[in-house]
Amino acid sequence: MPRRLGYAFYVHPLRRDLVPRPSRRGGRRLLLAVPFALIAAVTVVDVLVPPDVHLGPFLIAAPAVTASFAGPRATAFVGAVAVVAQTVVAVARTSATDLNHMYQIVALVLISIIATFFAHLRERDENRVARLRSITHAAQSVVLPPLPQRAGPLRIASVYLAAEEEAQMGGDLYAAARTASGTRLLIGDARGKGLDAISEASLVLGAFRVTARREQGLPELVGQLEAGVGSAERTRGATAARPDGADEAFVTALVLDIPDHEPVVRLVNCGHPPPLLLSQGRVIPLDTVGTSPPLGLSDVLAADVTVETFPFGVEDVLLLHTDGVTEARDHSRAFYPLTERLAAWTSDDPVTLLDRLRADLRAYVGGHLDDDAALVAVQRVAPES
C-alpha cells in the first residue's frame, strides 16, 4: 500500500525517503489550551468585576472555537466545562437560580449542543474524504507502479506529487519498457481529474506496455497509443456524455526511445511540455520543430508524427515532467521557475535531483500543490569495463 505523506506529496512504496506527515493530534492538543484558557480568564474576571458587568456570554466562544478543529467529544467536554464555569460564576455573584444567570446557562448549554453537532458533521466529512483519498491513491498506485531504477545503461528515478484537493486524482502518467536495442519511456497528462482522467491514463499506459517492446518505430507506437484513446472515446460517446461536459478527451504525452549504444534520444512530442536536458552545466529544453497533436485529437488536429533526435551522452540527465510542476505557484501567484532551479543541480544523479526538486517545489508552493505532477529523471551512465 503506498503511503500518503505530509504536504500532499505521494510516493510509491519504493520511495520511502520522505519525512512523514506531522501528526495533527499533537497540534490539536495544543489548540485545546485556547478554549480552556478562555474559560479560565472569563470566569476569574467575571467574578471580580462589578455586579453590573456580565462577561458570562463570552463563554459561548469556547465550544464554538473548539468545534472548528476538534471532534464532538472534545467539543462536548469543553462545553460542559464552560457550563460548570458559568454556574460557578452565578453562585459566586448571586445564585445559580438567578434569572439572568439561568438564561446564560441555558443558552450556553444549547450552543454547546449545536457546536458538538457541527463538530460531528465536520469529523464525519473529514473521515469520508480521507477514505476516498486512500482508495483513489491505492487505485492510482496499481495503474502507475514505480519505474525500474535501472534499464540497460540508464539510471532512472521517478516521483508522483499528489495535489491536496478532496479525493481527486489526476491523470499524470509515466512508464518505461525495454526493447532489444534500448529503452522506451512515456510521460503524459490526461485531461481533467477523477475517474475520467485515470481511465484515460490507464488506457494509454496499457497500450504502451503492450506495444512498446515491439520492434517498431516511434510513429507506429504513437499510432497505437492514439488508437487506444480514440477507441475508448468513441465507445464513451456512443453510451453517455462526459460528466464534465467536455466534447473531447485527450492526453498530452512524450514518447522517447533511448538506444543503448548510441548517445542520442529520439522523441515524439504530443502536445506535452518539452523535456529538459542537463548536460555539462547547462539546462537545455529539447524543443521539437514539429509537435504532434495530443493523443485522442488526431481526428480534430490532423498532423504527421514527427520524430526528432537530440544528443544524450554519458552522465547527461534528462528530466521529464508534467505541467503540474511548471504551473505550480507561490503565494504571489508566480510560476515555479523550473529551468532556473535546475541550473544549480546539473551535476546531480537522478535520485538526488528529484529529491532536491521535490523539496524545493514543496517550499515554493508552501506545502500545497494545486495540481498533480509527475517527474522522471533519466541518466546515461558509462558502460562497465
Q: What is the pLDDT of residues 342-369, one digit of tens each?
A: 998 988 899 999 999 999 999 999 888 8
β-sheet bridge partners, residue 319: 276, 377
pLDDT higher at 382 or 342: 342
Locate cell 444567570: which residue?
A: 101
How much is the pTM? 0.67
Note the pLDDT of residue 3. Answer: 37
Q: Among 156, 153, 197, 201, which Cα is nearest to 12's? A: 156
Q: Which amino acid is at 286?
A: L
Query: What's the CA gap between 258 and 280, in Å, rounded?
Result: 19
d(CA 190, CA 172): 6
Residues 284 and 274: their CA atoms lie apart, in Å, by 10
Q: What angle do CA 313, 374, 279 make, to 5 degrees?
A: 20
- Burial track 13-49 (b if 16+ CB lie within 10 A, e otherwise): eebeebeeeeeeeeeeeebbeebbebbeebbeebeee
Q: Is the pLDDT of residue 252 over 90?
A: yes
Cα–Cα distances in angstroms (integers) from residue 323 to residues 136, 162, 245, 297, 326, in the given order: 21, 13, 23, 19, 5
3-class SS string, 206-271: HHHHHHCCCCCCHHHHHHHHHHHHHHHHHHHHHHCCCCCCCCCCCEEEEEEEEECCCCEEEEEEEC
User: What share of the chain in percent tops pLDDT 90?
Assistant: 48
How confident is residue 18, by pLDDT bands cut at 50, 70 and 90?
Answer: very low
Contact 375, 144 (CB under 8 A): no
Per-residue pLDDT, 194 = 66
User: Chain-centre distance of CA 228, in angstroms?
Assistant: 27
Residue 281 to residues 265, 266, 284, 330: CA-CA distances in angstroms? 19, 22, 10, 27
Residue 113 phi, psi (nearest 5)? -65, -45
For residues 53 and 197, give the distance between their C-alpha atoms in angstroms, rounded to a whole number. 61
Characterize 84-96 residue by residue with b for buried, 16 or more Cβ atoms within 10 angstroms of its Cβ, and e for exposed.
ebbbebbeebeee
Of the CA atoms within 13 Å of residue 173, those in its CB half-sphere come to 33
Q: Give the closest residue to 372 by CA, choosing from 383, 380, 361.
A: 361
Q: For the segment 319-348, what is each residue's pLDDT rounded down to a tens digit?
A: 999 999 999 999 899 999 999 999 989 888
Higher pLDDT, 2 or 227: 227
Per-residue confidence (pLDDT) for residue 73, from 0 to 100: 93
List Cβ<8 Å contacts ≥24 apart for 217-220: 217/307, 218/255, 218/257, 218/266, 218/267, 218/268, 218/305, 218/307, 219/268, 219/305, 219/307
* pLDDT value for 10: 35
Collect all residues with Cβ–Cβ distance below 8 Å to 74 and sequence separation of at least 6: 28, 32, 66, 119
Higher pLDDT, 51 or 254: 254
Distance, CA of 58 to CA of 40 (rounded, Å): 11
Q: Give the pLDDT confidence of 84-136 residue by residue, as tens digits.
A: 998 988 888 777 677 787 888 999 999 999 999 999 999 999 888 888 777 76
Q: Report pLDDT for 104.
A: 87
Q: Which of 355, 341, 267, 281 is nearest to 311 (CA)?
A: 267
- Comparing C-alpha atoms, which of 186, 379, 160, 188 is closest to residue 277? 379
